[in-house]
Structure 1
Amino acid sequence: MLFGTQIEDIYLIILLIAGGLTILYLFFGDILEGVGEIFGFINPVLILSFFAFFSATGYLLDNITSLSSVLIVLLAAGIALILDTLLHIFVLVPLSSAEESLSYTEESLKGRVGKIIVPIPEDGFGEIVLESKSGMISKPATGFDNTIIYEGTKVLVLEVKNGVLYVVPYENELDADTSV
């Protein structure tokens, strides 16, 4: 008994609260991302999972074993810490690096070769498609020197301003050698 309540009930209450907060975090987690930026060591996923692991382990140990409550709390905390560490190392870290590798910045588009899919008129805009790891990127484009660039032409991205790619026709030396 703790505060007039069975310890098993306390474990279940903690588990329900941690589970409910986890579901709320799934829906409203973007709002709390700023907290992680301010305090780099605080990750709401790890905190909620620790309480979920702790309460579930404590409940199971209390029902299955005849150990003392203090020993059960210490074992549950240790097991929750180990599981939380494994969750962080094998799930959260790879997910965060995978998310970064699939995204691109406009600066990363400089120097890439693409293909014109909508012709660029003189002093006008067309559309370019670039291949990336995550699929095809389609962006508006204009000629760097305001010349006409026809559909199907390979182009080199020289500059990016306000989401528009400034391109010039691109001829690969290998392509020129094989055509002779």
Structure 2
Amino acid sequence: MEGLYLGCLVGGVLFTLASVLVGDLLGQWLDGMFDFLSVDFLKPIVLAGGVTGFGGAGILLDRYSGLGRTAELVLAICIALMLCALVYFAYVAPAERSENSTGYSEKELPGQIGEVSIPVPAQGYGEVMVRGVGGNSLHIAASWEHREIAAGVQVVIVDWRDGVVYVSEFDEGKGEGFI
């Protein structure tokens, strides 16, 4: 049994080292080949932690507990399952919940409020700054109504075409009563 425990301990440690050193490269090579197995609890880090914990707990129980082989095996499995749960709930789940994208699609721009940073002429282009989750973004802007808009004026993005946002002056009073 000590050979099984030692193999799991060494295998888990080697898998962890390989994941750290060449994990991204392997991920690119495999590119979703095993996506059909994607159960949240079966993440490689969780499984590696469980296998390594099983091996380490088994070695310690075998050498120092004086229990029978069956009791050692059952206890090592229980410890491994607890380690899997600990790794998942303390590391994997919080990390997945914290992933936020700072990206946006330009198709999401209509309806956003921005501020003119470079005046927008009646015919021509200026620049608008839009504040978003990922920070500020600057966009080439043209007037929707073909009116001049001064710098510092708040505008609403009406449309987006060919990399240009079409804006109109934002009047808070006009938006009341609409859902």
What is the TM-score normalised by the length of structure 2? 0.69
Which 4+ residue blocks in structure 1 deviate beyond 6 angstroms? Answer: none
2:143–2:149 contact (8 Å) kept in structure 1: no
Deviation at 1:138, TM superposition (A): 0.9
1:178: which partner in 2? none
1:93: which partner in 2? 93
Deviation at 1:99, TM superposition (A): 0.9
Higher RCO, 1 or 2 (CA under 8 Å, sep at least 6)?
A: 2
2:159: which partner in 1? 159
1:19: which partner in 2? 16
Deviation at 1:130, TM superposition (A): 0.8
Counterpart residue type for residue 17 of structure 2: G
Provide closer, same or farther for how the CA distance between residues 127 and 61 of structure 1 changes in structure 2, counting only shifts above 3 A: farther
1:46: which partner in 2? 46
1:84: which partner in 2? 84
Counterpart residue type for residue 12 of structure 2: L
Identity of aligned residues (%): 21
1:143 paired to 2:142: yes
What is the TM-score normalised by the length of structure 1? 0.69
2:158–2:166 contact (8 Å) kept in structure 1: yes
Q: 3-state DSSP class of the match of 2:99? A: helix
Provide closer, same or farther for how the CA distance between residues 23 and 94 of structure 1 changes in structure 2, counting only shifts above 3 A: same
Provide closer, same or farther for how the CA distance between residues 165 and 62 of structure 1 changes in structure 2, counting only shifts above 3 A: farther
- Where do 5+ consecutive residues of structure 2 fail to align? 175-179
Provide closer, same or farther for how the CA distance between residues 29 and 157 of structure 1 changes in structure 2, counting only shifts above 3 A: farther
Query: In the aligned structure 1, how far is the partner of 2:160 from the partner of 2:55?
Result: 52
Counterpart residue type for residue 57 of structure 1: A
Provide closer, same or farther for how the CA distance between residues 128 and 50 of structure 1 changes in structure 2, counting only shifts above 3 A: same
Provide closer, same or farther for how the CA distance between residues 64 and 165 of structure 1 changes in structure 2, counting only shifts above 3 A: farther
- Where do 5+ consecutive residues of structure 1 fail to align? 175-180
